[in-house]
Amino acid sequence: RFAIKGSLAGAAVYVAYAQGLLGSGTQGAEAFRKAQAALPPAIHEWTSYVGWEVRSLPPTPKFDFSPSDSWNKGVQTVMSALSVAPTRACEYTVEGWKYVKDLVK
């Protein structure tokens, strides 16, 4: 089981790297545009293979999504959390000691 899961995870990382998803924001945006262009024909081909009516499926959603903006927002959030982490750790430690002292009294 572990070997199968590990090989699937490795394959997913390899595909993501090969498609440019692990590169810069512009490479990720380009890979996303390629996926958006390839998705409707792939769904049509798969449904015709299975034998479903294409008209019965809802239209593919249109995304207004920028991977580079999301990446930058995520990096900013993480850096903000890391910058206040020492202060918050001290505050939580003081609160914890205060709570323990109140329990001991």
Per-residue model confidence as pLDDT tens digits over 10-40 = 888 888 778 777 777 777 777 777 777 777 7
- pLDDT value at position 76? 81
Q: Is pTM, for the whole model, over 0.75?
A: no
What is the tens place of the pLDDT at every residue in 51-68?
A: 666 555 566 667 666 666
pLDDT (mean) for 76-104: 90
Calculate the alpha carbon distances from 36 to 26, 43, 65, 72 in Å: 15, 11, 11, 22
Select from 91, 35, 81 the least CA-distant residue to 61: 35
- pLDDT value at position 97? 93
Q: Which residue is it, tokens 């927002």? A: 73
In the chain, where the domains are located = 2-104
Are 94 and 55 a contacting pair, CB within 8 Å?
no
pLDDT tier, 91 (very low <50, low <70, confident <90, very high otherwise)? very high
Select from 7, 27, 9 the least CA-distant residue to 18: 27
